[in-house]
A and B are shown apart, each in its own frame.
Chain A
Amino acid sequence: MNNAEMQKNLYRILRMNIILAKSSGEIVTEDTLQSFDDAAKKIDDDNNLKYEKATKDLYYTTTTLEEEEKRLEKLISLIDERLEERKTLLADYKETTNRELEALGYIKDEEKIDEYKERLVNIKNYLSNKESILKIEDELKLLHNELDICYNNKQLDENNNYELEESLLNTFKKIVSNSEYSDILKAVDVNFELEKLKPSMEEAQKTLNTFDSAFNNLKRAGIGFDSELEYSSYVDEARKSFYQVKEQEFLYRIYKVIIDSKNIYTELSEKRSELDKILEERLHLRVELGIVDADILNDLYTLIDKQKESILKQKENIDRITEIEDIIKYREKQLEELKEDNQKVEILSLLQEFGIIDVYETPEVNKIEDKEVDEEPIFEEETEEEVLIPNMVVEVIDPYEYLNLSFARSKADTVMRRVGKSLGYVQEAKKESLVTFDFDKPKEDKEVKADIQNSNNDIANNDIVSDVNKLTNANDNINTTVNTNTNTNTNTNTNTNINTNINTDVNTDNSNLNVDNFNNNFGNTNSYDILNSLNNFKMSDEKPKMDFSEIEASSSNIDNDFWSVNDDVFPNIDSNKDYKINQNKDTFKLNSPLEFGGSNENRN
């Protein structure tokens, strides 16, 4: 049995000892605990040795991304396993002894596992994207080929349509020229001819109606069979006469449609539908009037039926073109997204590392370059673009790694409290922050001493400390500490001019609180200046009382005025670029309301 196994056995037996002792209420000796501790540590050390042996061969430079992917997978798996192993040991130790097992050895690269995992994810993403890109590109090639064929077929069909139309017209002309209606083909303006025909048609219709009516009356009156036959023949003649006129009209209408040659499928299809309607109407009338003479348009009907199939087939091709174009559009969008994904900085740096690319530029530049490529549009008409609402939330993400979250939050908190204070909302006393201003202290000298206190505030201590140390007050002698989590119970009644910044810009201006643009940047505490400079301002539990008799806001380019305060203007939700505050100190009414929020464009 090797040493490692012995240690494990020792661990197990000691563990059982401790558990049993605890369960029976006995005291576990320190020696036992120490031995258990030692056994645990030795097990951990053995595990570490095995781990290091297993990972030893995984630290080498790979030459391809695929290789690197495999290497990282193995390495990460081993690190995970090792960490899990230790976690299990620690948990078991704690459960057994109610103590933490400390002073364990370092697990190589345990701190790098997240980095390795991220690297692996990037590699996998790139390789997967690359594979998808290749597949989509192949598919697009096939689709484009098929689309070309479909368009060729469409062109052929359109050429063929000319022939169909010509054939139809020729057939019609042949039929009509051999009939009593040949004059129709001489018509220059068919609409004019149809108009000319109207009175004749009305007359013929009237005549027919008269015959019909008279004949019906006779039948009702009860005429003989022979008489009925005779009068019936009069009616037939009247009908034929009427039909002759109608036939002219039909032929003019058919001629008008046929002569307008179409080759594009949709137009041709519409034209043939219109033709069908006229022909159907004609047939219906023939049946109604009992016209049994040979139909002069029989050949035309036959031709139209014959051509119908050829025309309908074109629809399949047209539909297929639409379908392919939709698929191409979708696939191209997918392709663009995948390529864009592969342009991320993390991936580009990997590609450069493995010599797949030489250099890379920022993704924005790449995008611009892509857009400059001239591509012929496939579609003549674009589909409706999705209307983007500017304020629409497209994504919610975790904060960026390089965003100093606590600092940002602190800034925002300060602004909120400042605005609230200026509106007279009392704030609860909070923990003191790093920097405190104490207005009650007498002026001492020109140097401002910041009293920096450690606090539980999240404000980045280093920034504040270095910045506060640079505070100077060129104007007055103040020994100040700024309490950024202000307790409004502090009473100050001073007109002290404070010119302080707690950012790196040291303001040595000998100004009397001329804050052109009150900047709610975390570094500018001018709200205190402003408030203190106004007459009768008292920082108290009550809302501040101010005399606005001579206060007039100056126009400034502040958009987000709610959050900004002009130098001697009381901040108000309804503030505006050009506004005057009413004289009434309590009403704070303004002439024109300001939109809360706004852009950052003209700040400062």
Chain B
Amino acid sequence: MKIEINKIIKLANKEEYLVIDKVHMGKIDYYYIAGLNEEKNDITNNYKIVTLININDNLCIDEVLGEDKLKEILPLFINK
């Protein structure tokens, strides 16, 4: 499954996110995603910056947490 900008990611917990943007830093891709509402016609106020990780051969999203890390990554999105 290739995750690209403007695609929609469906998760196992039924949540769906729109991929807004993507940046690359240190061999890792970071995605800026926004949650979709129930009607799937708009985004909600649920924004995340995530990376992709592999758990038991399953592709999963991993939220980027922590001030330091976010301060490193945010500028890449903002200044794009």
Contacts and interface: CB of A to CB of B under 8 A. Distances in A.
A526 interface: no
Given A393-B9, A408-B18, A572-B67, A600 B1 contact: no
B25 interface: no
A560 B10 contact: no
Given A393-B60, A396-B2, A399-B18, A420 B10 contact: no
Contact of B67 (A407, A593, A600): A593
Contacts of A521: 45
A400 interface: yes
A399 B75 contact: no
Interface in B29-75: 32, 34-36, 39-49, 52, 55-56, 58-67, 70-71, 74-75
Contacts of B62: 391
| Category for how many chain B residues contact A | 35 or more
A116 interface: no
A137 B52 CA distance: 41
B58 to A, nearest CB: 5
Contact of A425 (B4, B21, B78): B78
Given A393-B61, A402-B41, A425 B10 contact: no
Contact of A596 (B2, B40, B55, B70): B70
A519 B64 CA distance: 21
Nearest to A387: B56
Contacts of B49: 596-597
A397 B7 contact: yes
A393 B3 contact: yes
A99 B19 CA distance: 41
Interface string A356-393: 00000000000000000000000000000000111111
Nearest to B74: A420
Main secondary structure of the interface of A (DSSP, over half): loop
Interface in A383-422: 388-400, 402-405, 407-409, 411-413, 415-417, 419-420
Interface in B1-17: 1-4, 6-13
A392 B12 CA distance: 5
Contacts of A412: 18, 20-21, 32, 34, 43, 47
Contact of B35 (A390, A417, A600): A600
A425 to B, nearest CB: 5
A395 B20 contact: no
Scoring B11, B47, B63 by chain A CB atoms within 10 A of each residue's CB, the highest score goes to: B47
A597 B63 contact: yes
**Nearest 3 Cβ contacts at the A-B interface:** A420-B78, A390-B13, A600-B46
22 contacts: A390-B13, A391-B60, A392-B60, A393-B52, A396-B2, A396-B3, A402-B39, A402-B40, A402-B41, A403-B18, A408-B43, A409-B6, A412-B18, A416-B74, A416-B78, A420-B74, A423-B74, A428-B79, A520-B45, A573-B70, A597-B46, A600-B46
Given A393-B59, A411-B34, A420-B77, 9 more contacts: A391-B11, A393-B61, A396-B3, A412-B21, A428-B79, A560-B47, A573-B71, A596-B49, A597-B48
